Chain A
Amino acid sequence: MPQNIQADIDALCRRFRRRQIEGSLNTARATAELLRSLITRKGHPDANALLSDVRTWGTQLQAAKPLELAVGNIVRRVLHMIREESQNEEKEEVATAKVAALSEKEKITGLLSRAFRQPPPRSASLHNLLDLQHDDDDSAIEDGPAEQEAAAAPSQQAVDSQDVAQSGAQRRRAAPWEGRASIIDQLNELVGELRDIDSNIALHAVEHIHANESILTFGMSDTVLAFLLEAAKKRDFQVVVAEGAPRYGGHELARQLAQAGLHTTAIHDAAIFAMMARVNKVLVGAHALLANGGVMTGVGSHLVALAAKRHAVPFVVLVGLHKLSPLFPHDPSITFNDFKSPSDVMDFSMVAEVLDAEAGSAGISEEQLYVHAPNPVFDYVPPELISLFVTDTGGYTPSYVYRLLAEYYSREDYTLSKELLDTIIR
């Protein structure tokens, strides 16, 4: 059975590496579905075994596609679910013990005192500053020692997890962890959430697009398309589409919008600044939402954001929460950019022509004749330039992102074992 599991992980890793699965949403969905099937198949004796396994699996998956932060995000979310579930279990045990002891007294006390009995929030805050450090001895700075241990013996950890796997297989028939069913339920929910994510974002469309407005967008994004089409059901507005060179996704978007009967204007990227004064709002999609409230998004968006800032036009980013990453833009574990073929920037035939013509001329080495044509895929847009994120759960400002992080992830999981990641990549 364990080989089977490893084979499945390897299969998905291969598909990631071969770029057979592209786009944040597809990778996120594939990751969630794989994790669901793995957790279902392998009966873990307790939450800790499950945590360590999910962590190891997740690290392998992330290493296969370091550019898609969504993989790590989904893994972190699952880890968070498991942690919460196991905590709830502990609390329930304590609570039942307490109830058994004080059942009569409990009945008398009113709502108010029960409200005070609510467990303190899990994440660190000023509230539990004095409590937290004592109760959760390891959690507060777990990153440090735990990571170091992993660094000291990564192979050891692998052996351990295999041990756990084997002993788990033996014990499985005896007692798989009870919380597993609830985790699988939550994973089902997550997969469903990912399936409907664009339509859930689009639900907010009418709140953000008003009658007779002009909306500027840049390049192609399925999320933006769904959002605009949803708004068009109730509102009459214009869309200005910048083409998004060198991949020209804007052409496709403009075509689809026009087909749907929207008033569409296509412009080239150089006209963005000139056009900005005449639009009411800028809407773009994103590749990843980072912990400081900045986003990784299609190349050229930073220019659009700066133009929007100059004209005080709101710059709204549509982003599903599977793209929310707890990493900061400078984090060494982020592979920030991808480079595509230079032929988009400069035609190969033209390059060849230049080479032919100049090759004969004296005194110029072939090296000097090369034109460098980098073709990056992503831009980083800093939080200062972003007015609002519209997500599947509503609109948030960049300064609120830290709160979302606390809601969806546990701090212990922010770095998926970095050392392990390094060894796998190497």
Chain B
Amino acid sequence: MNKRSISGYLEQDEGGDTRLKTRDKPKLPLPQPPVPNPLAHREPKVRFSIADDSSQPIQHSGGSAYSLPGGNSGTEMVVRKFHDALARSPDTAVAVAAIKALTTVIERSTATTMMGLEKELKDAASSLERCNETAISLKAGCQLFLRYITRTSALEMENFEAAKARIIERGNYFAETSVRARATIAELGARFIRPGSILLVHGHSRVVLALLRKAVAQGIQFSVVITEGRPDETGLTMAQALDNMRVPTIAILDCAVAYALEAFRVDMVLVGAEGVVENGGVINKLGTFQAALAASCHNIPFYVAAESYKFARLYPLGQRDLPIERKHVDFGPLMPRNTHIENPSRDYTPPKYISLLFTDLGVLTPAAVSDELIQLYV
């Protein structure tokens, strides 16, 4: 038990009890008793999926999903705002929606001091985080905004009202920031694509797509090897987008990554990220880790494109430290009854397998990510 908690998050959160429970579950089914699948009864708690940055529509189930523990009108409002912002356009990033929602909290706030405002925001942020405890970029967005309020330039203002106005202005401006961030990353990253090169891309990512589009616009000819992205076939969505851009694309099975790196003479691997953690590693769609391992074995550079608001204050030491989000997967009728199915939706790639990160703060080494986060939070 102690060992577990050491390897856990270096972070305190109020809503962490479910996570702890799931983490303590045995990873492999015990040999003797034919246990029913411990997870079979669980309702899928997750209402929107961002593990793959997918543009699939967000389900608004409403009703019971909104009933939060100890929820009052304030927290419901913030959650509703969050979903509204997400629903407005499929291109909205989760962090942007979260910051939008938190901004409305400030607008309506009746607090008269910075401390009071901070308290209200903290409550709102934690209720936001509770609506999907596994979403890393949601957490990162909330953290960034809270930090902005307590630590950064808003404090330079003369009085509370001015500071509040400035924060609101910034919060509302953030959506544009995220669009700009993508443009900057595309600009920086496209320089890494040499004419005639072959890229392997895993998962659907809007940043990666923007980057490739930029490269196409610059007249660089390249081709892409894309993984299927089981079980939600996000790779095929990506392939469609690439097809529209007339980029020659080869689709492969997820298990063919190692084969493809050598067989197709891939020059670089490019992925997006759901979150970038404190040591410079990334959390992304399942299969990213194995792609990174295979790339490092073949001495192929592994690049990650991610906006800086995805930098999260997490320090996972391994796969087991990730918040678990399971998705349903159907193995068909041949599946034996007592076999336990595990389908995590994301994995953690340690920094040593990452060559560089393309971010709106510049092209960073994994070490530089730590530096940025430490500067902000310490």
* A and B from one complex: yes
Question: In the bound complex, how far is the Cα of B362 from the Cα of A134, in angstroms?
Answer: 17
Question: Which residues 146-168 of B sit at the A interface, judged by CB distance below 8 A?
Answer: 148, 151-153, 155-156
Q: Are B153 and A120 in contact (CB under 8 A)?
A: yes
Q: Which of B174-182, B258-266, B327-335 lies at the interface?
A: B174-182
Q: Are A411 and B362 in contact (CB under 8 A)?
A: yes
Contacts of B156 in A (CB 8 A): 116-117
Question: In the bound complex, how far is the Cα of B35 from the Cα of A114, in angstroms?
Answer: 64
Question: Which residues 97-152 of A sit at the B interface, judged by CB distance below 8 A?
Answer: 116-117, 120, 124-131, 133-134, 140-141, 143-144
Question: Which residues 335-366 of B sit at the A interface, judged by CB distance below 8 A?
Answer: 355-356, 360-366
Q: Are A331 and B191 in contact (CB under 8 A)?
A: yes
Instruction: Closest A residue to B374 by CB, please name it.
Output: A126
Q: Which of A20-28, A46-54, A234-242, A397-405 lies at the interface?
A: A397-405
Q: Are A127 and B376 in contact (CB under 8 A)?
A: yes
Picked from A134, A144, A400, A401, the residue with its CB within 8 Å of the CB of B183 is A144
Q: Are B360 and A399 in contact (CB under 8 A)?
A: no
Question: A292 interface residue, CB < 8 Å from B?
Answer: yes
What is the total of A-B residue contacts with beta carbons within 8 Å? Answer: 92
Question: In the bound complex, how far is the Cα of B376 from the Cα of A397, in angstroms?
Answer: 22
Contacts of A332 in B (CB 8 A): 191, 194
Task: Point out which of A130, A144, A401 has the most chain B C-beta atoms below 10 A from its C-beta.
Answer: A130
Contacts of B361 in A (CB 8 A): 124-126, 129
A379 shortest CB reach to chain B, Å: 16
Contacts of B192 in A (CB 8 A): 328, 330
Q: Are B376 and A130 in contact (CB under 8 A)?
A: no
Q: Are A127 and B177 in contact (CB under 8 A)?
A: no
Known: A143-B187, A403-B371. A130 touches B148 (CB 8 A): yes
Question: In the bound complex, how far is the Cα of B362 from the Cα of A286, in angstroms?
Answer: 25
Instruction: Closest A residue to B373 by CB, please name it.
Output: A126
Picked from A126, A293, A328, the residue with its CB within 8 Å of the CB of B375 is A126
Picked from B171, B177, B366, B372, the residue with its CB within 8 Å of the CB of A126 is B372
Question: B170 interface residue, CB < 8 Å from A?
Answer: yes
> Please, what's the 1-or-0 string for A246-264, where 1 marks a CB less than 8 Å from any CB in chain B?
0000000000000000000
Question: B308 interface residue, CB < 8 Å from A?
Answer: yes
Contacts of A116 in B (CB 8 A): 155-156
Picked from B152, B191, B362, the residue with its CB within 8 Å of the CB of A124 is B362
Question: A318 interface residue, CB < 8 Å from B?
Answer: no
Contacts of A291 in B (CB 8 A): 363
Q: Are A129 and B308 in contact (CB under 8 A)?
A: yes
> Please, what's the 1-or-0 string for B87-118, where 1 marks a CB less than 8 Å from any CB in chain A?
00000000000000000000000000000000
- Which residues of B does A touch, CB under 8 Å? 144, 148, 151-153, 155-156, 169-171, 173-174, 176-177, 180-181, 183-184, 187, 191-192, 194, 308-309, 311, 355-356, 360-368, 371-373, 375-376
